[in-house]
Structure 1
Amino acid sequence: MGILDHFSDMFEWTHSDRKKLKKLKRRPLQTVEIRIKMDCEGCERRVRKSVEGMKGVTGVEVEPKKHRLVVTGHVDPDKVLHRVRHRTGKVAEFWPYVPYDVVDHPYAPGVYDKKAPAGYVRNVVNNPQAAGLARASSTEVKYTSAFSDENPNACAVM
């Protein structure tokens, strides 16, 4: 009965429905985060309207204090970035920050960014030049864990 079910599903749908389904299957549902400077409510409105009418977009979230735009849907991230740049005329880039807890040394050169929102640092995990500075060596881990409150055998300096 598997073959009959397959054929019955094929003939129930019209040609245009199958085309739409194929397009949706090609692009998975994803979240695109973009950093774009927003100074006022007009900038926020312009950024929101630049991507709301885009095909495949299911949700738009604007965070003006963090200068962040989050677009969810069946979209191509490069096309979203290009459209935001073109429609707003502003400098936009993919969200370059990760939470503070992800990086071992958040204040290493190349990681710490004064422009980053609170609780975020620059993502250097995939950058081979700066990633060496952001990772802790084994001797550094020994010294930092020796005075840790979580280590029951740690040295207590009073």
Structure 2
Amino acid sequence: MGGTLDFLSSLLGGGHRYNKRKQFQTVELRVRMDCEGCELKVRNALSTMKGVRSVDISRKQYKVTVTGYVEPHKVVKRVKSTGKKAEIWPYVPYNVVARPYAAQTYDKKAPAGYVRNVEAIRVSSQVVKPEDELAALFSDDNPNACSIM
């Protein structure tokens, strides 16, 4: 119903552009910070962003957590404008991963208790079509067997 009202109000107001609302979300980043000055620079850059409700920084883990009505790519862009290298937080707790000490998941740079999130990396680098997922469930060698998870 709200989308209909927004559309009608934009038509009556003369605007031809549909304004999409941002969702409240938490964005976690990995940012290398060595001193209080670096932390202050990143905190000031993020806290002045429109839609940001809170900024939490853990310098020891190189982790920055931003909550608010923001888009992740814009948060990364704002941190990079300070001269710091930033990426979306690539780690998950090790008890969530099936094989935490496999070659791709284990990372010496990860904070204690965390490993690299290989599933997210694998999904983001490959385009998976729904029909490919269904085709992979069945075996060509034995057409009577299937594996449904």
5+ unaligned residues in a row in structure 2: which ranges?
Answer: 124-149
Q: 1:70 aligns with which of 46, 52, 65?
A: 65
TM-score, normalisation: structure 1: 0.64
* 1:126 Cα offset (Å): 2.8
* 1:128 Cα offset (Å): 3.6
Higher-helix-fraction structure: 1
Deviations 1:112-153 (A, max 9, x none): 000000010000113449xxxxxxxxxxxxxxxxxxxxxxxx
* Distance in structure 2 (CA, Å) of the matches to 1:61 and 1:41: 14
1:53 aligns with 2:53: no
The structure having more radius of gyration, on CA atoms, is 1
TM-score, normalisation: structure 2: 0.68
- Equivalent position of 1:126 in the other structure: 120
* Distance in structure 1 (CA, Å) of the matches to 2:24 and 2:122: 29
Q: Percent identity?
A: 55
| CA RMSD, 1 decimal | 2.1
Residue identity matched to 2:61: K
TM superposition outliers: structure 1 runs of 4+ over 2 Å: 126-129
Q: 1:81 aligns with which of 71, 76, 84?
A: 76
* 1:50 Cα offset (Å): 1.1
5+ unaligned residues in a row in structure 1: which ranges?
Answer: 1-5, 16-21, 130-158
* 1:80 Cα offset (Å): 0.7
